[in-house]
Amino acid sequence: MQAQHLRGNLELLRQTIKQAAPEAQELVSYQMPAFKYHGMLCYFAVFKDHYSLFVSPKIKDAFTDKLGAYKQTKSAIHFPLKSQIPVELVTEIITFTAMTNLEKAQAKKPAKK
């Protein structure tokens, strides 16, 4: 696989995440690119034979019905290098994760008297 193709797909993954959660902060964590929005949103990386999107296991489990075509680990979804990045699915996962993180953050705030 050509390095330019890999970089292009990683950039597509990054842009998809940024568009789904525009207020998220980009950072590097665990030596991987990541996004944070009221807690960790996701990590992503390219490996020998796949791209990985790392989300919390609870988030991944919420999308079990839509992830059947992809290999998975406890907290990662693997997208094969030879296939297109599923932009709509990634957008849906990131949007859901951002909403979940925001709801958790708002629930932790003490009520004003």
pTM for the structure as a whole? 0.91
Name residues whose C-beta falls within 8 Å of residue 62's C-beta, 6 or more positions apart in sequence: 96
Question: pLDDT value at position 4?
Answer: 80
Distances (CA, A) of 16 to 60, 88, 98, 107: 17, 9, 13, 27
Question: pLDDT value at position 3?
Answer: 80
Phi-psi category of 71—alpha, beta or left, where left has phi over 0 and alpha has psi -120 to 50? beta
Note down pLDDT in tens along the chain; length 113 residues: 578 878 899 999 999 999 999 999 999 999 999 999 999 999 999 999 999 999 999 999 999 999 999 999 999 999 999 889 999 999 999 999 999 999 999 998 776 66
From the options 3.40.1710.10, 1.10.150.120, 3.90.1150.200, 3.90.600.10, give the CATH code of 3-86.
Answer: 3.90.1150.200
